[in-house]
Structure 1
Amino acid sequence: MKITLKLTILFTIITAGIVFLFAAVIYNYAKQDREEEFYQRIKIKAFVKGELLFDAKASAQTLQEIHKNNLRVMNEAEIAIYDQDFNLLFHDNQKSDLIKETPQMLQEILEKGEIQFYKGKWQAVGERYTFRGKHYLITAISYDHYGYNKIDNMYNHMVYAYIISIVVICFSGLFFSIRAFAPVKDITRKVNKITASKLDVRLNVNGSKDELSALANTFNQMLDRLESSFETQKSFVSNISHELRTPLAAIIAELELSLSKDHTTQDYRDAISNTLDDAKRLVRLSTSLLDLARAGYDKSEISFKSIRADEVLLDARQIEQQANPNYHINIDFDIDADDDQDITIMGNEYLLKVAFANLFNNGCKYSPNNQCSVKIQYTNSAIVLQFSNEGENIPTEELATIFKPFFRGFNQQMASGNGIGLSLTQKIILLHNGTISVTSTGGITTFTISLPLEVF
């Protein structure tokens, strides 16, 4: 069931309930008003009859004739008058005797002074009437034809009006539901047009601050992220293809050349050596890609634990120097740590080793003397690592793009690489809620890393 139909039904039920309660209150109030008004009319007629009998000295026969004449044109009350000893003094129509007074009823009238009650649909009153110091008891009963007809007509009209109002409410609810969800349908229609090749489609935002505008803004922001992610992925795949094609083409060329004709032993050794270098390059590339993918995981999927940053640095230096014995790496502690808490961080040991090794490798590779140094400093809330090496200054325009994947700078001819190391390092540092920046002046290039200390 569509939401528009659900809202229409819910709106109709709620509104119909409110209208029903309102109509019921009015109807009950009208019934009570009719009842009280008719009781007052009967009481007035009872007192008038008492005045005529006692004060005006009208005869019983005259009063009975008046009663009979009035019955022809209106619903006249049937009245009976008793003395305080319950003796009947007057009765409009003793043959019908609609009330059929009992001693208990007359006693109640005498004690209370007034009673009201129903006989079926007939309304009756009992009144204590005093004339010249003596108490008399008057009973009167009548049927309110006009009042009942008026209430019945009112009931019928309310039923018809209620049915018509339900129909109007239903169609009104449907109309407003359709109008209210028109922007949602527009959003759905535009979203259906979005495909992997059409991520530039955006939802209209009318500038208001309602919930639908907030939804459209959120969706547009998500599309911005998706489009950026898709473009990055396309660029990533394109760069990977290029990086893989070069060493593979070189390997194939070397092997085809070796098979084309007979060669000397030295030629074969040179071909195998070149092929081995290209294979190692492929291994380094695949390892870097795997590390890059791992650094892109959600933080909740990576295990973090308390580790000492200096120990991770020493392990990373050992790994890099084992792979490149000609690299010289110096670690300088600016201030000695008095406590483990001064140098303990929450992190993933493997990823941090990869990040630090990349910076060691990058510094030594582009340094004329294959030398890199790192200075360790502390603050109250973070540990700061400065990786420095001598060499040519990095151009200012390249500093802004140095952390992009597969970016190779002006010095790419000086050493081999695939442009993944610095991008991978930045991802790892950000994953640890840290920051990384680079400066290059005066022949010194410095990468500065800040990592938050573990809170104890």
Structure 2
Amino acid sequence: MNLKQRFSFIFSCLFSVLLATVTLTVYVLFAHFRQDEFAALMTEKAQTTAKLLIEVKEIDYKMQKIIDSNSINKLYNENTQIYNEDYKLIYNSNDTLTVNLTKADLNQIKTKHRIFKKTDPYDILGLYYTYDHKHYYVVVSAEDTYDNSKLNYLKYLLLGAFIIGTTTVWVLSFRLSKRALKPLDNFRQKIQEITDSNLKIRLSEAKREDEINALANSFNQMMDRIDNAYDRQKEFTGNASHELRTPVARIAAQIENLLHRNGLDADTRANLASVFDDTFQLSEIISSLVAIADINSREHHSSFAKLRLDELIYSTVADLSKIYPDFKLKFEIENNTGNETDLEISGDETLLKIALINLFKNAYLYSDDHSLECLIRQENKEIELLITNSGEPPLVEDTATLFTTFYRGSNVKYIAGSGIGLGIVKRVLEYHRSTINYQIIDKNTNQVQVIFPLRNSNS
């Protein structure tokens, strides 16, 4: 669950709980109010009946029944009963709806002077009435159907309001949060476009002063500092690599001249040969650093040209054969379209040749028989390059680690190297929007897969 969903969910839940509390409170308070109002009506009825029947001598029981039955304020299933102080029923307005009260109930009325209780289906009100030093118990019972219908109406009204209100808030909260946090989605998309070769991207800043705009401003300031630091690092790497290149080349040339002199003893010649190999390896590391600096200094692909991948491989193999005379390659091309332009890619010839040299050199050095196979084939809008050799595979859990700069696998044995070659290959291919993968296709059989986009599909 992302930030927008969490914010909307928490806000909607809080609103739902608050609305439920308010609606429930309204219902309970209204129910108590209607109950008190109904009890007041019953109290008024009890007092009126008692006064007419007890205090007015002209009204007897029969006349009081007529008055009760014809009252305009008559309650539903109403019944009024009067007991004397000896707990004897002296008046009952409706003989068919008699509510039987025990002596304990009447004593409770005497103690509290007024009681009200709800039973099924009647509400009962008891009143302790005193007149002319005589005590009476007046009991009124009735069904509150009118008020119950109001409560049911209010219940369904509040329930409908709760459902509509919560549904509206849930929908609006998710939509509004999505709209309010849309700048963060734009920021995320912009940030995903930032790479080490493209540090000039900045987040757009709005005119309004809010937290999102402050975040964009702070991020842009951070990117300015990173860009400046990265530029200084690239400048230092490039300058240092170029400055080291010349003296190392001179040292290698001088050692090579010494090795061609006559009269050197075997130990001296062996030591000079070892120093020459170390110097040559150092020269390769410096050349690799120069290549990395060259990649880092390029911010666009304007230097890309139309290249044929097969011709580039032929040129690379020819250069390697001069250094390693026993280099053997089986080269095949699968092109079912019959169109030679399908092997064309866009790229920088110098950088791609450095990458191919490193790939073929590694395949040669780590091969059991110093031979390898190379296959080019077109797949949809991509060109796939497969380089296969036989040899001990490296022991790594994540094969992507092999393309980490200065990392060397477990199968290096006595093979000299710096571990920087495959790192340069990865950087060059990423610069050309290409991918590289290593896989073990069989026992002691290694394969490197490089996928290039076709020239007409490369932007």
Q: TM-score, normalised by structure 2?
A: 0.53
Amino acid across the alignment from 2:78: A
In structure 2, the CA distance between the partners of 1:44 and 1:189, relative to structure 1 (3 Å rule), is same
User: Structure 1 residue 132 and structure 2 residue 132: aligned?
Assistant: yes
In the other structure, the counterpart of 2:32 is 32
In structure 2, the CA distance between the partners of 1:138 and 1:258, relative to structure 1 (3 Å rule), is closer
Aligned partner of residue 226 in structure 2, secondary structure: helix
In the other structure, the counterpart of 2:152 is 152
Gaps of 5+ in 2: 264-271, 287-459
In the other structure, the counterpart of 1:89 is 90
In the other structure, the counterpart of 2:81 is 80
Write out aligned runs for 1:272-287 (5 A): none
Deviations 1:272-327 (A, max 9, x none): 9xx99xx9xx99xx9xxxxxxxxxxxxxxxxxxxxxxxxxxxxxxxxxxxxxxxxx
- CA distance, structure 1, for counterparts of residue 29 and residue 228 of structure 2: 69
In structure 2, the CA distance between the partners of 1:135 and 1:73, relative to structure 1 (3 Å rule), is closer
In the other structure, the counterpart of 1:292 is none
Deviations 1:41-65 (A, max 9, x none): 0010011111221233322112223
Amino acid across the alignment from 1:29: L
In the other structure, the counterpart of 1:23 is 23
In the other structure, the counterpart of 2:63 is 62
Deviation of 1:217 (Å): 3.0
The answer as to whether partners of 2:109 and 2:126 remain within 8 angstroms in 1 is yes
Larger Rg: 1
Q: Which moved more, 1:205-214 or 1:190-199?
A: 205-214
- CA distance, structure 1, for counterparts of residue 236 and residue 45 of structure 2: 103
Write out aligned runs for 1:166-245 (5 A): 166-206=166-206, 210-245=210-245
In structure 2, the CA distance between the partners of 1:259 and 1:138, relative to structure 1 (3 Å rule), is closer
Count of aligned pairs between the two proteins: 270
User: Structure 1 residue 50 and structure 2 residue 38: aligned?
Assistant: no
The answer as to whether partners of 2:114 and 2:127 remain within 8 angstroms in 1 is yes
The answer as to whether partners of 1:127 and 1:139 remain within 8 angstroms in 2 is yes
- CA distance, structure 1, for counterparts of residue 259 and residue 150 of structure 2: 115
Deviations 1:70-128 (A, max 9, x none): 59975153111122122222111234312x12122222222332122222242111111
- CA distance, structure 1, for counterparts of residue 170 and residue 114 of structure 2: 51
Amino acid across the alignment from 1:154: L
In structure 2, the CA distance between the partners of 1:118 and 1:25, relative to structure 1 (3 Å rule), is same
In the other structure, the counterpart of 1:381 is none
- CA distance, structure 2, for counterparts of residue 260 and residue 113 of structure 1: 131
Deviation of 1:209 (Å): 5.4
In the other structure, the counterpart of 1:161 is 161
Aligned partner of residue 200 in structure 1, secondary structure: coil
Amino acid across the alignment from 1:64: K
- CA distance, structure 2, for counterparts of residue 22 and residue 181 of structure 1: 30
Amino acid across the alignment from 1:86: Y
Aligned partner of residue 82 in structure 2, secondary structure: strand
The answer as to whether partners of 1:42 and 1:77 remain within 8 angstroms in 2 is no
Amino acid across the alignment from 2:136: Y
In the other structure, the counterpart of 1:349 is none
Aligned partner of residue 77 in structure 1, secondary structure: strand
In structure 2, the CA distance between the partners of 1:252 and 1:86, relative to structure 1 (3 Å rule), is closer
- CA distance, structure 1, for counterparts of residue 35 and residue 256 of structure 2: 115
User: Structure 1 residue 116 and structure 2 residue 116: aligned?
Assistant: yes
Amino acid across the alignment from 2:203: L
Amino acid across the alignment from 1:122: Y
Gaps of 5+ in 1: 264-271, 287-456
The answer as to whether partners of 2:205 and 2:213 remain within 8 angstroms in 1 is yes
- CA distance, structure 2, for counterparts of residue 224 and residue 159 of structure 1: 56
Deviation of 1:69 (Å): 4.2
Amino acid across the alignment from 2:231: E
The answer as to whether partners of 1:70 and 1:76 remain within 8 angstroms in 2 is no
In the other structure, the counterpart of 1:360 is none
In structure 2, the CA distance between the partners of 1:60 and 1:241, relative to structure 1 (3 Å rule), is same
Deviation of 1:204 (Å): 2.3
Deviations 1:333-376 (A, max 9, x none): xxxxxxxxxxxxxxxxxxxxxxxxxxxxxxxxxxxxxxxxxxxx
- CA distance, structure 1, for counterparts of residue 97 and residue 249 of structure 2: 125
Deviation of 1:225 (Å): 2.5
Deviation of 1:259 (Å): 7.7
In the other structure, the counterpart of 1:104 is 104
In the other structure, the counterpart of 1:328 is none
Aligned partner of residue 198 in structure 1, secondary structure: coil
Deviation of 1:142 (Å): 0.9
In the other structure, the counterpart of 1:416 is none
Deviation of 1:155 (Å): 0.2
In structure 2, the CA distance between the partners of 1:76 and 1:63, relative to structure 1 (3 Å rule), is farther
Deviation of 1:255 (Å): 5.2
- CA distance, structure 1, for counterparts of residue 83 and residue 242 of structure 2: 122
- CA distance, structure 1, for counterparts of residue 73 and residue 135 of structure 2: 32
- Give the fraction of aligned pairs with identical amino acids, expressed as a percent: 28
- CA distance, structure 1, for counterparts of residue 71 and residue 134 of structure 2: 29
In structure 2, the CA distance between the partners of 1:103 and 1:243, relative to structure 1 (3 Å rule), is same
- CA distance, structure 1, for counterparts of residue 262 and residue 19 of structure 2: 103
In the other structure, the counterpart of 1:143 is 143
Q: Which moved more, 1:191-200 or 1:112-121?
A: 112-121
- CA distance, structure 2, for counterparts of residue 112 and residue 181 of structure 1: 64
Amino acid across the alignment from 1:31: A
- CA distance, structure 1, for counterparts of residue 144 and residue 258 of structure 2: 123
Deviation of 1:11 (Å): 1.6
- CA distance, structure 1, for counterparts of residue 89 and residue 257 of structure 2: 144
Deviation of 1:207 (Å): 5.7
Write out aligned runs for 1:227-376 (5 A): 227-254=227-254
The answer as to whether partners of 1:84 and 1:110 remain within 8 angstroms in 2 is no
Q: Which moved more, 1:160-169 or 1:222-231?
A: 222-231
The alignment's C-alpha RMSD in Å is: 3.1
